[in-house]
Amino acid sequence: MHKIKLLTLFIVILSSPFVSVSQNDVPNGVPIDVIRNFERNYDSLLSSFYLRQNSKIIRNTYSRESDNLCSPTSAKNVSDSILARRLRQLPSSIKLTYNTQVRGIIEYYIDKIPDRVSVMLGLSKYYFPIFESILDQYNVPHELKYLVVIESALNPNAVSRAGATGLWQFMYSTGRMYDLRVNSNVDDRRDPIKSSVAAARYLRDLHKIYNDWELALAAYNCGPGNVNKAIRRSGKNDFWGIWDYLPRETRGYVPAYIAACYVMNYYSEHNITPATLSKPAVTDTVLVTKDIHFEQIATVLSLSSEQIKDLNPQYKRDMIMGTQDEYYIKLPIRYVKEFISLEDSIAKYNIENYFDTGFKKQDNTSKEYITKQVQLSHKVRKGETWTSIARRYGVSVSELKRWNKKRKYPVRGQLLTVYQKKKVEIDKKEEQEKGPFTEQTTVSNDATNQMEAQESSPVPKKDKIANETSKKPVVKKSKSVTHKVRKGETVSAISRKYNVEINDIISLNKLNKKRPIIRVGQVLKIK
């Protein structure tokens, strides 16, 4: 008899599913799939930049030691009638049915993981305004924003075992149907804005099919095919009527959504407070026209590259190929203006370390070299002085002060103007396009001699060209010329090309002063 009991116990143990979440942590009636997904996505979320920066705040937000599960604020001590009444009072276009399954998930959120709910509430201040704006644009109920809590735990990098990705957990095929790009450079399923647009369109289309939001939510989770099959087999046309015929995970999906609606609205009734996170609530997106690596942006703008990656999770390789497609970058609002003005400098900063610039073909024809003055921008860093900055660029302190209105001390974060002389090869084709206009430059005989010394056998013709060039008079830039905008050009690049002020180009061509945007093929006047 004793052996039979042991054998029976052994069979029961083997037949029980092994899960990462302890069954003791899950209230009765709660579908384990919902809990597994939430736990996995939340654990992944903790590795993100902003949550690591706020780890101390997260630890101190809610103390399990002070959590008295016997207190009146515990969900298990709140009556069914009160929970049901609170759900009925929520403004919602979606029917919020209350039953034992919904109660079980509410108890899980409130009594088992209040610290994680606190983090969700903190992140909601950043994400929910984005979701609400987009859902409203597509005439979809605002309260569908709570889907993201159960789909991804507000983690844009969440990936399910089936491969669904992003805040709204799109599969590859569904994402492509709703214009989400997925290639070696970018995965738009991780983009909070683009994925929200796709989710709003998809949910709207599903509602058109069923004219019922609960069925639309079920189809969002398991696909319209499974929902249609459940409707045929059950003979019913509502979620709870087809419940027994749906996949196991989908049975807990709608109850989990209803529980999320409750928790995200009535958290204060259960003594839970939102975590105060440092993720910037105010950001802006900027079109990127160059190929730029996150490290280049981080160095020039004095940001963390991980911070940039956290705000732009859609880019797979920490770089934005702005010359290949229409790509945008999201930055804290205070860095946006600086990025726009320094985009050219950022793209050129240590470019050989981040991008393969290719090889230049050997040119056996004679080349002409000139030395011209180039204007650069330098952002003052902590501890820098006039002397250290001047030494870095090979200029004198007096010159540096003169270029920057003789400021007494360089201030951290201040942008300084620096002029440097650089040896460049004359682009003959470009000179011909300019017509009679010539840049005001000077020829350096020293630069020409250095170039000749590097050659194994000097070329007499080159020496003659350099000497002839040095005798050419400088042409003053008093004539008006026109410039046809090419792909990748910016106003700042054109101003440097013609050695004129950016503001002169903006005013002469009546461009927007704050964001001077030019188009390929546009003809600009240059004075």
**Domain boundary residue among 246, 270, 294?**
270
What backbone phi and psi angles, to 5 degrees, belong to 525? -90, 135
DSSP 206: H
Domain final position from 270, 293, 311: 270
In a domain, residue 499? The reply is yes
Q: φ and ψ at 270, to 5 degrees?
A: -115, 20
152, amino acid identity: S
pLDDT at 455: 40
Written as one string, the DSSP assignment of 43-62 is HHHTTSHHHHHTHHHHHHH-
Identify the helix (H) or strand (E) that includes residue 524. strand 523-526
Note whether 123 and 186 are same-domain residues. yes
> Within 13 Å of residue 317, how many CA atoms lie on the same side as its CB?
13
Q: Are residues 408 and 503 in the same domain?
A: no
Which domain, by its residues, includes 290? 283-354
Beta-carbon contacts of residue 67 (< 8 Å; ≥ 6 apart): 111, 114
Same domain, 257 and 314: no
Does 8 map to a domain?
no
Domain assignment of residue 1, yes or no: no
- Given 3-state DSSP classes, what are the helix, strand and coil percentages for the chain, each rounded to the nearest 5? 55, 10, 35
Q: 278 in a domain, yes or no?
A: no
Give the pTM.
Answer: 0.63
How many independent structural domains does the chain possess? 4
Q: Which of 206, 235, 270 is the last residue of a domain?
A: 270
User: Would residue 342 count as lying in a domain?
Assistant: yes
Please give the radius of gyration of the chain, using alpha carbons only, rounded to the nearest integer: 32
Question: Could you tell me which of 264, 304, 306, 33 has the C-alpha nearest to residue 127?
Answer: 264
What does the pLDDT read at residue 376? Answer: 80
Torsion of CA 362, 363, 367, 372, to 10 degrees: -50
User: Does one domain contain both 50 and 136?
Assistant: yes
Are both 392 and 338 inside the same structural domain? no
315/185 Cα distance (integer angstroms): 6
Are 130 and 186 in a shared domain? yes
Where are the strands (E) in 405-457, listed by range?
Answer: 415-425
In a domain, 490, yes or no: yes
Q: Give the domain CATH number at 470.
A: 3.10.350.10
Burial of 183: CB neighbours in 10 Å, binned 0-12, 13-18, 19+: exposed
- The pair of structure tokens assigned to 442 is 């000077």
CA 179 to chain centre: 18
Closest to 426 measured CA to CA, from 403, 390, 451, 407: 451
Instruction: Answer yes or no: do 65 and 149 share one domain.
Output: yes
Shared domain for 374 and 318, answered yes or no, is no
Residue in 263, 123, 145 with CA at minimum distance from that of residue 203: 145
What's the per-residue H, E or C state across 83-136? HHHHHHHCCCCCCCCCCHHHHHHHHHHHHHCHHHHHHHHHHHHHHHHHHHHHHH
Distance CA 493, CA 120 (A): 44
Q: Is residue 360 part of a domain?
A: no
Co-location of 105 and 232 in the same domain: yes
Residues 177 and 111 in one domain: yes
CATH of the domain at 208: 1.10.530.10
**Core vs surface per residue 319-349: b (16+ CB within 10 A) or e:** bbbbeeeebbbbbbeebbebbbebbbebbeb
Are residues 465 and 490 located together in one domain of the fold? Answer: no
Number of H helices, E strands in the chain: 26, 8
Residues 185 and 58 in one domain: yes
Q: Fill in the amino acid letter for 13.
A: I
Tokens of 333: 């609002």
Examine residue 5 and state whether it is found in any structural domain, yes or no.
no
Per-residue pLDDT of the chain (527 residues), as tens digits, is 444 433 343 333 233 333 334 444 455 556 677 778 888 888 878 778 878 877 766 666 655 444 545 577 889 899 999 999 999 999 999 999 999 999 999 999 999 899 899 999 999 999 999 999 999 999 999 999 999 999 999 999 999 888 999 999 999 999 999 999 999 999 999 999 999 999 999 999 999 999 999 999 999 999 999 999 999 999 999 999 999 999 998 999 999 999 999 999 999 999 999 988 888 878 899 999 999 999 999 999 988 899 999 999 999 999 999 999 999 999 999 999 999 999 999 999 989 888 876 544 444 445 565 666 777 878 888 778 888 887 777 788 888 888 887 667 788 878 888 887 665 556 554 445 444 433 333 333 333 333 334 443 344 444 444 444 444 444 444 567 888 888 778 887 888 788 888 888 888 888 877 677 888 888 888 88
User: How far is CA 103 from each of CA 78, 110, 475, rounded to the nearest angstrom?
Assistant: 10, 10, 83
CA–CA distance, 319 with 295 (Å, rounded to integer): 9
3-state secondary structure of 327: strand
Centroid of chain to Cα 197: 15
* 3 state SS of 486: coil
Residue the block writes with tokens 């390789």: 317
* Helix spans in 211-324 (H): 213-222, 224-234, 239-242, 248-251, 253-266, 294-301, 305-311
